[in-house]
Amino acid sequence: MKLFLSYSLSPTDYQVASLLARQAQNKGIIVESSQHQPFVAVNSLEVTRQAISTSDFVIAIVSLDSQFAIHVQQELKVAASLNRPCLALVERGGYPIQQIPGVQYVEFSRYDIGPALAHISDILEMKKNQGILNKWVLGGALALFALYLISRSGDK
Amino acid sequence: MANTSLNLSALNDEEFEDLIDAIFRARMLRQELEQPVSVESFQLSVVSVSRSGRGTDEGLDLLVTTLVRDCIAPREIRWLIQCKHKAVSGRAVSPSDFANDFSFIEIVKHHDANSYLLACSTRPSTKLQSRLDKLTKDNQDRQFIIWDAARVCEEVLRHEELVKRFFPREYQRQRDVVDGGRVRDWMLQYKEAISPDACDALSQIIAIDKADTAEMGGQK
Q: Say what percent of chain B tops pLDDT 70.
A: 80
Interface residue of B202, B203, B216 to substitute, partner A, most A CBs within 10 Å: B202
Share of chain A above pLDDT 70, in %: 92
- Stretch B28-50: mean pLDDT: 61
Facing B158 at nearest CB: one of A18, A120, A148 = A18
**Which residue of A17, A47, A138 is in closest CB contact with B204?**
A138
At residue B48 the predicted structure's pLDDT band, cuts being 50, 70 and 90, is confident
Q: Average pLDDT for residues B188-194, to the nearest whole number? A: 90
Tell whether B190 is within 8 A of chain A (Cβ). Answer: yes
Of residues B217 and A57, more confidently modeled: A57
Question: Which pLDDT does position B139 carry in this prediction?
Answer: 87
Strand pairing class (B46-51; B62-69) = antiparallel
In sequence order, which residues have a C-beta less than 8 Å from that of residue B170 and are 6 or more positions away?
Answer: A15, B5, B6, B7, B163
A81-90, B58-67, B71-80, B135-144 — most confident range: A81-90
Partners of B74 in the beta sheet? B69
Q: Which residues, 6 or more positions from B54, have their beta carbon under 8 angstroms from its beta carbon?
A: none
Q: What is the pLDDT of residue B54?
A: 58
The pLDDT confidence band at residue B205, using thresholds 50, 70 and 90, is confident
Check residue A43 and give its pLDDT.
Answer: 59
Q: Minimal Cα–Cα distance from B90 to chain A, Å? A: 16
Q: Does residue B118 surpass a pLDDT of 50?
A: yes
What pLDDT, on the 0 to 100 scale, is given for residue B216? 61
User: Which one of A28-42, B48-62, B202-216 scores highest in mean pLDDT?
Assistant: B48-62
CA distance B50 to chain A (A): 21
Model pLDDT, residue B115: 93
Global pTM value: 0.80
DSSP B92: P
Could you read off the pLDDT of A9-49 as tens digits, one per residue? Answer: 988 888 899 899 988 988 889 988 876 654 443 456 777 88
Give the burial string for B48-69 (b: 16+ CB within 10 Å, else e): ebebbeeeeeebbbbbbbbbeb
Higher pLDDT, A104 or B202: A104
Give B168's pLDDT tier (boundaries 50, 70, 90).
very high
